[in-house]
A and B are shown apart, each in its own frame.
Chain A
Amino acid sequence: MTQVVKAQRHPRDSLLRSERLPHIWCPGCGIGIVMAAYADAIEASGIPPEKHVCISGIGCTGRVSGYMRLDSFHTTHGRAIAFATGLSLVRPDLEVTVISGDGDICTIGGNHLIHAARRNVDINVIMVNNFNYGMTGGQHGGTTPLGAKTYTSPYGNFEAPFNMPYLVAAAGASFVARWTTLHVRQLINAIKRMMSVEGFAFIEVISPCPPTFGEFNNFPEAIDMMEYFRKYSVVDHNADLSKIDIRLQGEPLVVGNFVDRRRPSYQELVQETIRKASGRGESV
């Protein structure tokens, strides 16, 4: 006889569109951990939920926005940061967070990423890096480690990947961090910190993807990559960012809050321009 067990409500249910659950992510996927960390950070931020906006692009991580009970936008592939820029320029009082995957943020959206970092647009970007295009079945992208096998690198990936914290720091971001889905506490704290940073804030979250990446790269089970994180992660907030490439070959996986600095945000500078120009239109 089937017994119906009523599950307890999740403490973050008020921030989730719980009627949409269960989510679409595969067993062992790390995206749910990141989404929960985001919800925890919202709760801890002290900023009311109606002042938070969640924007995603396309892909597995792109589905996060649709599960968050916030003002949320599921946009086109790669364009979430540009969308967020327009939105937050008009409403700089809102806490705007972009959550999307490595293919979306780094590869197809890479140009938007570096320019938003250069301008120091006051938004938060959480990039879940699972080293491949998962939703389309497992193809290589701009963060796939050298030698990794995917459906479009069947003999091993021969393209050098981006070292994301190094790239985004060089482009001018105010806050840059990297954590893995094993470092839940640190991740929540880093997301919370992002929400108080006035400027471009970026976190790379390294995540397992058992069925479309792990399977072909010695991490077939959910636990395998988490075990790798446990074994090889090194916390170093002062790391030399030029030396923190990820090869997944047993080298130190350097994580930490690497950059936290203050320079004027794009929104502040745009408002300053309006102050300079206002009332000067009579010659028209």
Chain B
Amino acid sequence: MSSGLPRPGVHFMMGNFACVEAAILAGCRFFAGYPITPSSEIFERACVRFPQVGGIAVEMEDEMASVAALIGAAYAGAKAMTATSGPGFSLMMENIGLAFIMEAPIVIVNVQRAGPSTGIPTLIGQGDVMQARWGSHGDIETVVYSPSSVQEFFDLTIKAFNTAERLRTPVIVLADQLVGLMWEKVVIPTAEDVEVVERKIMDPRLLSTRPPFDYSVDVNPMPIVGTGCRVNIDSLTHDERGYPTTSQEISDKMLRYLLGKIRNHARELWMYKEFMTDDAEVVVVAYGSTARSSLNAIKQARARGIKAGLLQLITLWPFPSDVIERLSQRVNALVVPEINFGQLVHPVREYAKCPVINVNWAPGSLIEPHVILDAVEVAAA
């Protein structure tokens, strides 16, 4: 009888499928979804694969319900995920905020499509970068990873679960239509070679001597239902016992603790790749599928004698401010191409010490390398 785990080795696989295999290896055994293009293959494959490894994959009535179900499943002890695209992501904002304040480790995959509202479901976009960070009301912090290949989609899905478990917080994998639907080589490691992080669980015996929410620690262990903790988990601002409060002193403590979980770990969360930046005078800052066109563009620029490089941002949030600050001190200009009308360029401008040129194209297709090349040439001139 098969273990149901993905076969290690080299595969030719769709990005959306690779995401599911990664989730299984990361220990995820609960999926609640609602179909939406271009992410549906994730949900469909989860429905085939999760039961094979003893997991649950169910269809909810909408995306608000999906994320609510994930939080319930997380508190029942499961690693839980969902997948969606723009319109569904908008509906999830409510309960992403709930997962943040309830400190539920869940993973949300957004395979971005084109346009506002229902836009163009079948075409590519990168318009949800700001929503992934600022979409839920009040002050929250999110961790957002952006893959540019099927392999990265696989690796970052595992990473997302590990970060969620370690920090007890929702983590978003911000893919796009190209990365989701593209078939590409992916190397799947053996289960023993995958680093898997498990959350710290609250021991109910400790609750006689300590409160369930100690706002002076880094991350509190998680009370799991049915283990005798009998703790109240509240969507309202709550004190160290988990009880609702309007005390401004406690509210301040709670928020600093919740935000601090991410802010204090920002440096270890930052992931990025550099290509030919050592002697670069112009550096393209790109993420997701746009990083692929950008790599081609800087190679063409090099062939024309321009010292160009690429900084591929993998962690979009918390924003890798120091990386931009450091790099921008030794280059003449940064070029930021995005399949939207200007989103991640704003934090880049906030931290850059050099001129920043934005390249925006978002009718539903990739930014072609020659468009980025033009901007690099202008920046180098």
B98 in contact with A75 (CB, 8 Å)? yes
A53 within 8 A of B: yes
Partner of A86 from B68, B230, B243 at Cβ < 8 Å: B68
B171 within 8 A of A: no
The interface stretch among B55-63, B179-187, B276-284, B308-316 is B55-63
B225 in contact with A277 (CB, 8 Å)? no
Identify which of residues 51-86 in chain A touch chain B, using a CB-to-CB cut-off of 8 Å.
51, 53, 55, 58, 65-66, 69-76, 78-80, 82-86
A66 in contact with B72 (CB, 8 Å)? no
A49 in contact with B230 (CB, 8 Å)? yes
B78 in contact with A90 (CB, 8 Å)? yes
How far does the alpha carbon of A34 sit from the alpha carbon of B127 in the complex, in Å?
A: 47
What's the least CB distance linking A141 to chain B, in Å?
Answer: 18
Nearest residue in A to B78 (C-beta to C-beta)?
A90
B58 in contact with A89 (CB, 8 Å)? yes
B69 in contact with A20 (CB, 8 Å)? no
What's the least CB distance linking A213 to chain B, in Å?
Answer: 24
Q: In the assembled complex, which residues on chain A have CB atoms less than 8 Å from the CB atom of B53?
A: 278, 281
The interface stretch among B158-166, B232-240, B330-338, B361-369 is B232-240
A230 within 8 A of B: no
Q: In the assembled complex, which residues on chain B have CB atoms less than 8 Å from the CB atom of A91?
A: 76-77, 225-226
Identify which of residues 63-84 in chain B touch chain A, using a CB-to-CB cut-off of 8 Å.
64-66, 68-73, 75-78, 80
How far does the alpha carbon of A88 sit from the alpha carbon of B97 in the complex, in Å?
A: 22
B244 in contact with A66 (CB, 8 Å)? yes
A50 within 8 A of B: yes
Binary contact track B329-369/A, C-beta < 8 Å → 1, others 0 = 00000000000000000000000000000000000000000
Identify which of residues 81-110 in chain A touch chain B, using a CB-to-CB cut-off of 8 Å.
82-91, 93-94
What's the least CB distance linking B157 to chain A, in Å?
Answer: 16
How far does the alpha carbon of A78 sit from the alpha carbon of B102 in the complex, in Å?
A: 17
B226 in contact with A74 (CB, 8 Å)? no
A74 in contact with B52 (CB, 8 Å)? no
| A76-B235, A274-B51 as given contacts; A112 in contact with B230, CB under 8 Å | no
B223 within 8 A of A: yes
How far does the alpha carbon of A75 sit from the alpha carbon of B104 in the complex, in Å?
A: 12
B2 in contact with A282 (CB, 8 Å)? yes
A6 within 8 A of B: no
B52 in contact with A277 (CB, 8 Å)? yes
| A71-B225, A73-B75, A86-B30 as given contacts; A281 in contact with B49, CB under 8 Å | yes
A185 within 8 A of B: no
Partner of B69 from A50, A76, A83, A270 at Cβ < 8 Å: A83
What's the least CB distance linking A196 to chain B, in Å?
Answer: 18
The interface stretch among B4-12, B146-154, B189-197 is B4-12
A79 in contact with B68 (CB, 8 Å)? yes
Partner of A65 from B3, B76, B232 at Cβ < 8 Å: B232
What's the least CB distance linking B44 to chain A, in Å?
Answer: 14
Chain A residue total in the interface (Cβ 8 A): 47
Q: In the assembled complex, which residues on chain B have CB atoms less than 8 Å from the CB atom of A79?
A: 64-65, 68, 94-95, 98
Nearest residue in A to B234 (C-beta to C-beta)?
A74
B229 within 8 A of A: yes
A115 within 8 A of B: yes
Q: In the assembled complex, which residues on chain B have CB atoms less than 8 Å from the CB atom of A111?
A: 61-62, 65
B62 in contact with A90 (CB, 8 Å)? no
How far does the alpha carbon of A273 sit from the alpha carbon of B46 in the complex, in Å?
A: 13
A10 within 8 A of B: no
Q: In the assembled complex, which residues on chain A have CB atoms less than 8 Å from the CB atom of B48?
A: 277
How far does the alpha carbon of A71 sit from the alpha carbon of B231 in the complex, in Å?
A: 5
B1 within 8 A of A: yes
What's the least CB distance linking A270 to chain B, in Å?
Answer: 6
A284 in contact with B64 (CB, 8 Å)? no
Partner of B61 from A65, A72, A112, A284 at Cβ < 8 Å: A112
| A50-B228, A71-B225, A278-B51 as given contacts; A86 in contact with B233, CB under 8 Å | no
What's the least CB distance linking A167 to chain B, in Å?
Answer: 15
What's the least CB distance linking B67 to chain A, in Å?
Answer: 8
How far does the alpha carbon of A111 sit from the alpha carbon of B60 in the complex, in Å?
A: 10
Q: In the assembled complex, which residues on chain A have CB atoms less than 8 Å from the CB atom of B78?
A: 90
Q: In the assembled complex, which residues on chain B have CB atoms less than 8 Å from the CB atom of A281?
A: 2-6, 49, 52-53
Binary contact track B1-25/A, C-beta < 8 Å → 1, others 0 = 1111111000000000000010000
Instruction: Give the one of A66, A69, A84 with max B CB within 10 A.
Output: A66
Nearest residue in B to A114 (C-beta to C-beta)?
B61
B7 in contact with A282 (CB, 8 Å)? yes
B225 in contact with A280 (CB, 8 Å)? no
A243 within 8 A of B: no
Partner of B225 from A80, A94, A274 at Cβ < 8 Å: A94
Q: In the assembled complex, which residues on chain B have CB atoms less than 8 Å from the CB atom of A71?
A: 75, 223, 225-226, 229-231
| A66-B232, A85-B72 as given contacts; A76 in contact with B95, CB under 8 Å | yes
How far does the alpha carbon of A72 sit from the alpha carbon of B229 in the complex, in Å?
A: 10
B327 within 8 A of A: no
How far does the alpha carbon of A150 sit from the alpha carbon of B194 in the complex, in Å?
A: 59
Binding site for A on B (CB under 8 A): 1-7, 21, 30, 32, 48-49, 51-56, 58, 60-62, 64-66, 68-73, 75-78, 80, 94-95, 97-98, 102, 223, 225-236, 243-244
Task: Offer 15 A-B interface pairs, CB within 8 angstroms, sorted by A.
Answer: A50-B226, A66-B234, A71-B223, A73-B232, A73-B233, A79-B64, A82-B68, A84-B72, A86-B76, A87-B75, A91-B76, A276-B51, A278-B52, A279-B4, A280-B52
For the complex of A and B, list the 3 residue pairs with the smallest distance between their C-beta atoms, beginning with the closest. Answer: A86-B69, A87-B72, A281-B4
Binding site for B on A (CB under 8 A): 17, 20, 49-51, 53, 55, 58, 65-66, 69-76, 78-80, 82-91, 93-94, 111-112, 115, 270, 273-274, 276-282, 284
